[in-house]
Amino acid sequence: MISDSVGETSLKLVNAVTAQFPTVEFDLSYRFPFTKDEAELKNILGDALKDSAVVVTTLVSDNLSQIVSDFGERTGLQYINLMAPFMDIVHQKTGVAPLKQAGVVHKLNKEYFDRVAAIEFAVKYDDGKDAKGFLEADLVLLGISRTSKTPLSMYLANSRLKVANLPLIPEVPLPEQIKNVPKEKIIGLVIEPNVQQKIRTSRLASLGLDENSRYANIDRIKEEVDYALGVYDELGAFTLDVTNKSIEEAATLICEHLDNSL
Amino acid sequence: MISDSVGETSLKLVNAVTAQFPTVEFDLSYRFPFTKDEAELKNILGDALKDSAVVVTTLVSDNLSQIVSDFGERTGLQYINLMAPFMDIVHQKTGVAPLKQAGVVHKLNKEYFDRVAAIEFAVKYDDGKDAKGFLEADLVLLGISRTSKTPLSMYLANSRLKVANLPLIPEVPLPEQIKNVPKEKIIGLVIEPNVQQKIRTSRLASLGLDENSRYANIDRIKEEVDYALGVYDELGAFTLDVTNKSIEEAATLICEHLDNSL
């Protein structure tokens, strides 16, 4: 992966593609961010050829892109150029030439600072730490222990959403503030009790605690789930089943819900 | 953006490409995650054609990919297929056929759970909240207020690094634990005082506080920066200048440092 900036785009694509070949062993450690020098680029290409690697580039400079394609044609090195074909389409369609300036996607603009603020918000108002957060939040996640509230909040913060979350525990009364949050902002996470039991059991094991504790007891989990469903019903929350869903999948479904409820 | 899964890869690419055309107005709200149905796909393509949109796809199914390319050839709709060319290269090179199963990149495997644990770790040990974290961490970030410690910790957690951070304040003694952390795990963030002053001034404004407070005073900031540099020197920390750097750029440089110090 060769980039003139951070190289996140190629990493995302490489992860998506390699996941389609579970029996193939890939070596993904060859990442070359901030590559802007011709000689350096040629060295990397030479090494890639020796290793019969596949090269994925995200380079905005015509000059560097050209070096890769010339090298590929001359030597047979296989490469994927992610930026150029797409930039060409936009150029054609709009008549506007691209900047060809590396790293502009990481400009420190308002969007960037809003994202940083959202991440700080999510940390500050994680785990119901401060009930003030519920009224300032764009989104409030509710769920019993181990329903991915924290990582989901953090992931959604990257879309500049201010997310607060609250763990639901039958013995702990709800904070009053939650009742004043508009219901379309409240997401109630649900999970299948048997799956939840497995997650909690391994959580206890990882903490070196007794796996037979009440925390991982199936009857207790069912009681918690029932309690949570009652709360969602009372608050009119949108409920989302996170059983066997990744953070990315759950977050995408939450964003779809928000778009639809606008 | 049409994906049979979450669609993160196409979003990353679209963000990188559109940043190269700052004067062009793009409408990026047309995202179609979890698209697996032929009829639905054809509807989206029809709408895209009406809007003269450019379509970016991350589809693993041959069938759906074929529908997009046939439609493009027949109607002139411009599209970028991100997965197929790369999957073809891997297929050729290894003789192994891809799974063509949507969403496998989000499998809930050990890597996934390690990432979730790292995010929870970063939240738990943010802001020096619990000095126990320093000894369990893969990485400890030190810095004065407003040097991006929290968002950097969260971002690095996505690479499964357990990150703790500690704000440096001249009047507050360092926790003893920090002295037992191996020095290659300690990153000292530095920032140019005038840039830091601007950041703190707008921070105060956003909180509705007096912008002339000591917090944003240039002499005070210089005093804090000097103190921090002294601490980094004493601990043998790797120092990283985050002035005008985005989180992504700073994180990439930290990962390079870790790779080099192994």
pLDDT of residue B10: 96
pLDDT of residue B261: 83
Task: Give the angle subtended at the CA of A57 by the CAs of A56 and A63, to the nearest 5°.
Answer: 145
Per-residue pLDDT of B232-259, as tens digits, reads 999 999 999 999 999 999 999 999 999 8
Mean pLDDT of A170-185: 95
Give the residue on B whose Cα is nearest the Cα of A52. Answer: B93
pLDDT of residue B90: 96
Give the model's confidence band at A260: pLDDT under 50 very low, under 70 low, under 90 confident, else very high.
Answer: confident
CA–CA separation, B162 and A146 (whole Å)? 19
Per-residue pLDDT of A106-154, as tens digits, reads 888 889 999 999 999 999 999 999 999 999 999 999 999 999 999 999 9
Residue A78 backbone phi and psi in degrees, to 5: -90, 135
Establish, for the pair of chains A and B, how many residue pairs have beta carbons separated by less than 8 Å. Answer: 176
Mean pLDDT of A42-68: 97
Residue located via tokens 């596949």? A54
Are B68 and B59 in contact, with CB atoms under 8 Å apart?
Answer: yes
| Residue B159 among known ligand-binding residues | no
Give the model's confidence band at B11: pLDDT under 50 very low, under 70 low, under 90 confident, else very high.
Answer: very high
Torsion of CA A72, A75, A77, A79, to 10 degrees: 0
CA–CA separation, B258 and A59 (whole Å)? 24
Residue located via tokens 């197929």? B84
Q: Is B35 on the interface with A (CB under 8 A)?
A: no
Are A189 and A149 in contact, with CB atoms under 8 Å apart?
Answer: yes
Give the model's confidence band at A83: pLDDT under 50 very low, under 70 low, under 90 confident, else very high.
Answer: very high
Q: Is the pLDDT of residue B172 over 90?
A: yes
Cβ-based contacts of A34 with chain B (< 8 Å): 252
Q: Is the pLDDT of residue B187 over 90?
A: yes
Strands B2-3 and B54-58: what pairing?
parallel
* N- to C-terminal Cα separation, chain A: 39
Known binding site for ADP: residues of A? 143-150
Give the residue on A whose Cα is nearest the Cα of B80. Answer: A86
- Nearest to residue B53, comparing CAs of B78, B73, B32? B78
Q: Is the pLDDT of residue A164 over 80?
A: yes
Q: A163 forms bridges with which residues in the sheet?
A: A139
Are A148 and A189 in contact, with CB atoms under 8 Å apart?
Answer: yes
CA–CA separation, B8 and B12 (whole Å)? 6
Per-residue pLDDT of B87-97, as tens digits, reads 999 999 999 99
Are A227 and A195 in contact, with CB atoms under 8 Å apart?
Answer: no
Q: Is the pLDDT of residue A262 over 80?
A: no
Q: Is the pLDDT of residue B100 over 80?
A: yes
Q: B105 forms bridges with which residues in the sheet?
A: none
Q: Which domains does chain A have, with CATH numbers?
A: 2-106 (no CATH), 110-260 (3.40.50)
Please state the ipTM of this predicted complex: 0.91
Q: Which DSSP symbol is given to A189?
A: E
| Residue B146 among known ligand-binding residues | yes
SS (H, E, C) B153-185: HHHHHCCCCCEEEEECCCCCCCCHHHHHCCHHH
CA–CA separation, A153 and A119 (whole Å)? 8
Are B57 and B80 in contact, with CB atoms under 8 Å apart?
Answer: yes
Strands B54-58 and B139-143: what pairing?
unpaired
Q: Is A247 on the interface with B (CB under 8 A)?
A: yes
pLDDT of residue B212: 86
pLDDT of residue A163: 98
Are A177 and A135 in contact, with CB atoms under 8 Å apart?
Answer: yes
Mean pLDDT of A1-25: 96
Task: Give the angle subtended at the CA of B260 by the CAs of B258 and B261, to the nearest 5°.
Answer: 65
Q: Is the pLDDT of residue B159 over 80?
A: yes
Q: Check residues B168 and B262 and name the one with the higher pLDDT.
A: B168
Q: B56 forms bridges with which residues in the sheet?
A: B80
Cβ-based contacts of B262 with chain A (< 8 Å): none
Per-residue pLDDT of A205-249, as tens digits, reads 888 888 889 999 999 999 999 999 999 999 999 999 999 999 999
pLDDT of residue B207: 84
Strands A139-143 and A186-190: what pairing?
parallel
